[in-house]
Amino acid sequence: MEFTAWSQVRKGVEQQKYILLDLRSEGEFAKGSIPHARSLPLLDNKERSAVGTLYKTEGKGPATRLGLELFAGKAENFLNQCVSYNECCHRIVLYCWRGGMRSRLVAMWLEAAGIPVLILEGGYKKFRTFVLQTLEELAQQEFLVLNGLTGTGKTKLIQEMIEDGLAAIDFEGIANHRGSAFGGFSQARGTPTQQDFENQLADAFLKIGSAKKILVELENNIGPVSLSKSLRNALCSSPMVYLEKDFDGRVTFLADLYAERWNHEEEQKFLVQMQQVKRFLSTDDFQTICTSIRKQNFNSVITILLKNRYDKAYGKSLLRHRRQMLASFNISYETASAKAYLRQYLTN
């Protein structure tokens, strides 16, 4: 039975030599897991609860015996899954909450069946400590921050710079959310938990390597997840580049973006979310938006929201940061110039 540190396991996962199996219950996994791990619970939520209750009332011995009895009924299927992973030439790495009893029992059983395994040292608990330390290191980095009104394509530009191999982190991409009251619309996946957001953010930072400067967008709360206070403070005090785009271009860009997966369910969700911004709008504007969204007149909806809510809110933020602006580009016709500037800044 071999215990291995996360730094070594991470290299094996990146090289597709290791496969991570999370032995915790599906409820524990749903709250947060290591990126790329697969859930293979030793006990499900109800079983784990029963074992925990017995542990509190009768002690470790009876609780352990109950756990083994409950696992016995699913042992064959569990073993078959592990065999299939092993046959794919992957080295199996097991982890539970602390790399304790669950991992050790499964490791001994699998090794007896001829399947070599590793145990992640310290389990998920120690991994989380590593993640939080990594995010504090991220907050100490040198950033170049994109700022600008909604719909100027800040996130799109960051994604393009990542594709070009430059040091950049897409906070909204990791969050699967665009940050506003409507930021969860037309997303291929749901927003991760706060733990998973932090886990994936730390992973994205580590993939950048030794870059001295990192391109990001100014963010704080991104839907239900948020950046740490230290990271937010670092972004707010960093040099910035201001992006703008012609108003009609912003409206068209946002209409295409938010209506990509539009259906009746999205419409109902939109009308519910409108209650969050209702207080910022006149009664006439609110009614016009509700009528227009039912007719799928997205340009009208976006025009009203930009002029009467979001441009005003973002405008105040831009004024606070105006002294930090190093350069300004209109993405309607200066995309190439903006990319060239960002590339030079990040690589010098």
- Identify the pLDDT of residue 290: 94
| Whole-number Å distance between alpha carbons of 109 and 115 | 9
> Is 150 found in the same domain as 125?
no
Residue 245 in domain: yes
| Whole-number Å distance between alpha carbons of 199 and 194 | 9
Average pLDDT of 283-302?
94
Point out the domain boundary residue: 97, 130, 163: 130
Residue 310's domain spans which residues?
140-347
> Is 250 found in the same domain as 316?
yes
Average pLDDT of 242-249?
96
Return the exposure string of 126-139: e unless at least 16 CB atoms fall within 10 Å of the residue's CB, then b.
Answer: bbbebbeebbeebb
- Identify the pLDDT of residue 215: 98
> Is 259 found in the same domain as 126?
no
Higher pLDDT, 124 or 66: 124
- Identify the pLDDT of residue 240: 97
Average pLDDT of 263-287?
91
Quickly state the pLDDT bin for 184 (edges 50, 70, 90): confident
Point out the domain boundary residue: 96, 130, 164: 130
Neighbour tally for 260: CB within 10 Å: 12
> Is 230 found in the same domain as 119?
no
232 and 218 Cβ atoms separated by less than 8 Å: no
> Is 225 found in the same domain as 90?
no
Ranges 173-187, 220-234, 247-261, 294-308: which has the least confidence:
173-187
- Identify the pLDDT of residue 128: 97
Average pLDDT of 136-162?
95
| pTM exceeds 0.85, yes or no | yes
Point out the domain boundary residue: 88, 111, 130: 130
> Is 47 found in the same domain as 122?
yes
- Identify the pLDDT of residue 29: 97
> Is 179 found in the same domain as 70?
no
Annotated catalytic residue within 82, 88, 89, 96 = 96
- Report whether pLDDT(210) > 80: yes
> Is 21 found in the same domain as 107?
yes
For residue 290, indicate whether it is catalytic: no
The domain spanning residue 15 has which CATH number? Answer: 3.40.250.10
> Is 96 found in the same domain as 55?
yes
Number of domains the chain contains: 2
| Whole-number Å distance between alpha carbons of 237 and 143 | 9
> Is 182 found in the same domain as 125?
no
The percentage of residues in the chain with a pLDDT greater than 90, rounded to a whole number, is 68
> Is 172 found in the same domain as 28?
no
Q: 65-120 pLDDT, tens per residue?
A: 888 888 888 889 999 999 888 877 678 999 999 988 889 989 999 999 999 999 99
Residue 135 in domain: no
Residue 52 in domain: yes
- Average pLDDT value over all residues in the chain: 92
| Whole-number Å distance between alpha carbons of 275 and 182 | 11
The domain spanning residue 266 has which CATH number? Answer: 3.40.50
| Whole-number Å distance between alpha carbons of 81 and 279 | 54
> Is 230 found in the same domain as 265?
yes
